[in-house]
Amino acid sequence: MNILITGSAGFIGFHLAKNLLKKKQNNVFGIDNFNNYYSKKIKKKRNSILLKEKNFFFYKINLSKRKRIENIFKKNKFDIIFHLAGQPGVLYSFKNPKSYKINNLLATKHLCEVAAKNKVKKFIFGSSSSVYGDQKKFPISENSKKKPINYYAKTKYQCEKIVKKNFSSKEFSYQIFRFFTVYGSFGRPDMFIHKLLNSIKKNKLISLHNHGKNYRDFTYIDDVVNVLVKSVNKNFQNDILNICKSKPIKNNKLIKIISNLYGKKAKLNLIGKVKGEMLVTHGCNRLLKKNMKHKKFTSIEKGLKQTIKDFKKYNM
């Protein structure tokens, strides 16, 4: 089976590719543009690990360049596409909205159109819990009203519509997953957990938004990847599914757990609320468990223990 993963040098894309490569009958093709949003060092490290596998093939391109995408499709016949590439980051979307328009909207439009033209069997898109915005009723189900409060979230929601538009006919199969605060080994350095780990390691202050009172539905990377891998051969009953543990934790409590596991306290700079940031993420995973048949999730303690172990080992 030929599987294309966009954003293969990214956090989720890397872990997904590594898992799929275990089956030698899978040929995994990765696409990434190595942009400068965060350090390229970790992206190159992830990619170097994948390139050790004989059944991994990599293309360094920007998905906003349609002709480059078409050339790859001319050379290869893909059975499944995981579209995980995109410009991440909530706060950065206020500083550089153009990057989100190019790397999220335009890239998704081009990829979907080329994929549909080439009759790809299944298209799987990685969306975000941010499309829900601030809600009053929890846990948040897939049919909750969408209230994106930042440009990143708005582009993710628009991308979902682009996917539906291109693959809603009977000849195609598509799946949209909304990720809730994914964490784990080789995580993005701009995400809170790895920011915290780096601040502890370097003995530096870390700014804690909303005085640490935010709640986040942290979901371990292995749990996310297990769902994605099963979606290769399984058509779920629901086209849109949350991937979440559905057990949010307050950031203050999370910091205590991490400090205990790391063996060193974090230095905190307590600040107020930040524009565009959600106060609570708490997803409902009832539909996911129904489709997966009673899926269990990794405890926060177990997931953090492995994350910290690898952070110390690989220095990232």
What whole-number distance in Å separates Cα of residue 48 and Cα of residue 170?
39
Amino acid identity, position 33: N
- How far apart CA 94 and CA 44 sit, in angstroms, is 27
60: closest CA among 73, 42, 72, 77?
A: 72
∠ CA 199-187-65, nearest 5°, is: 125
Mention every residue, 6+ apart, whose C-beta is less than 8 A from residue 84: 5, 6, 7, 8, 10, 12, 13, 16, 126
First to last CA, the chain: 32
Indicate if 100 belongs to the active site.
Answer: no
Residues 6+ apart with CB under 8 A from 6: 13, 31, 32, 63, 81, 82, 83, 84, 85, 107, 111
- What number of residues does the chain have? 316
Structure tokens at 78: 């893909």
What H or E segment, with its residue span, contains residue 314?
Answer: helix 300-314
| Catalytic site residue from 92, 151, 152, 157 | 152
Query: Across the strands, what pairs with 209?
Result: none
Residues with catalytic roles: 152
